[in-house]
Chains A and B, each alone.
Chain A
Amino acid sequence: MKAIRAVVHEVVGLFVSDWTQTAVTVAIIAAAWILIPRFHYAAIAFALAAALAVQLIVATGAEARRGRAATRKHGE
C-alpha cells in the first residue's frame, strides 16, 4: 500500500508542483480549447503560448517572494 501511494504521489508530482499554478495553466488551456475551434486562428495559439509564458513569470516571481518572506520570518 505504501509503495502504491509512493508511485501515485510520484506520478501526480510529474505534472503538479504547485496546485494554483497547475489550475491557472489548465484554465488557460481550457480557454484556448473553447476559442480555437470557433475561430481557427493561429494567432489564438500564439496567444495561448504567450499566456503560458506570462503565467511562468508570475508564478516563479510569487514563489520567489514567498521564499524570501519565509527566510525573513525565520531570521527574525
Chain B
Amino acid sequence: MYTEILTFGAAFLGSAVESVEALTIVLAVGLTRGWRAPLLGTAAALVALALLVLVFGQLIVARVPELTLKLIIGTLLILFGLRWLHKAVLRSAGTLSMHDEEKAYASTVNALEGSAARQDRDVVGFLLALKGVFLEGLEVVFIVIAVGGTGGRLGIAVAGGILAMLTVGAAGFAVRRPLARVPENTLKYAVGLILTSIGTFWAAEGMGVSWPLDFVSIAALIAMFFVASQIAIALIRRPAVA
C-alpha cells in the first residue's frame, strides 16, 4: 500500500507541475487567437503522449529483466531528480529567479500579438499548442513510465498522471488565467527529492542490494537528500568571505 501511494503521489505531483506549464501555453494561445486550433493541438499532443506511454511502457515492462530495468530506470531517475533538485536549490537560495507563470504567459501573448493575423485554419495556434503540450508532456511520460514501470505499477502511475492533468486543466479552464499561485518551486523541490530517492533505491536494488526495511528506506533517503539540499541552500546564501 505504501509503495502504491508513493508511486501515485510522485506521478501526480510531477505531472501536475508540468501540466501547469503546458496549460500556460494553451491559455495564452487560446485567449489570443481563439480556442479551436490550440484545443486541437492539445488533443493531438495528448494522443501522441498516450501512444508513447502505451508503446514504451509496455515494451519496457514486458521485455527488460526486472533487475536491469531497476538499474536503468533508477539511474535515469537520479539524473532527472537531481536536475530538478539542483534548480530548486538555486531558486530557493535566490541564485535563479523563480519560474513565473504570469511572465511566461505575458511573453507568449506578446509574441503571438506580433504574429500573422488569425485565419480560419490557425496553423500557428495549432502548432504552438501541440509543441508546448508535447514537450512539457515528455517529462510527464518519463515520470509515469519511470515510477510505474518497475514492480508492475504502471496503471497506478498513469492514473496519477491523468488525474493531475485533468485537475490542472479544469482549474485553468475555470479561472481562464495561468495558475500563478501554484507553488511550483516547492512542488519541484518535493518531486525532485522523491524521484532522486526512488532512483537511488532502485538503482542500488538493480545492483543487488537488499535495503534494510525494504521500501521504508526511501524515507531515510528522502531525509538525506533534504538535509543535503538545505545545507546547499545555506552555503549559497552565506555571504562570501573577502
Chain A residues within CB distance 8 Å of chain B? 3, 6-7, 10-11, 14-18, 21-22, 25-26, 29, 32-33, 36-37, 40-42, 44-46, 48-50, 52-57, 59-61, 63-64, 67-68
Chain B residues within CB distance 8 Å of chain A? 71, 75-76, 78-80, 82-83, 85-87, 89-90, 93, 95-96, 131, 134-135, 138-139, 142, 196-197, 200, 203-204, 207-212, 220-221, 224-225, 227-229, 231-232, 235-236, 240
Question: Once the chains bind, are B131 and A6 in contact (CB under 8 Å)?
Answer: yes
6 tightest Cβ-Cβ pairs between the two chains A and B: A53-B228, A45-B204, A15-B79, A36-B207, A64-B236, A45-B209
Question: Once the chains bind, are A61 and B204 in contact (CB under 8 Å)?
Answer: no
Question: Once the chains bind, are A17 and B209 in contact (CB under 8 Å)?
Answer: no
Knowing A36-B208, A48-B200 are in contact, say whether A29-B231 is a contact too (CB < 8 A): no
Minimal beta-carbon separation of A55 from chain B (angstroms): 8
A interface: dominant SS: helix
Residues of A with C-beta under 8 A to B228: 53-54, 56-57
**Can you name the residue of chain B whose Cβ is closest to the Cβ of A18?**
B86
Q: Pick the residue among B75, B85, B235 that contacts A29 (CB under 8 A).
A: B75
Residues of A with C-beta under 8 A to B134: 7
Knowing A21-B86, A33-B207 are in contact, say whether A52-B200 is a contact too (CB < 8 A): yes
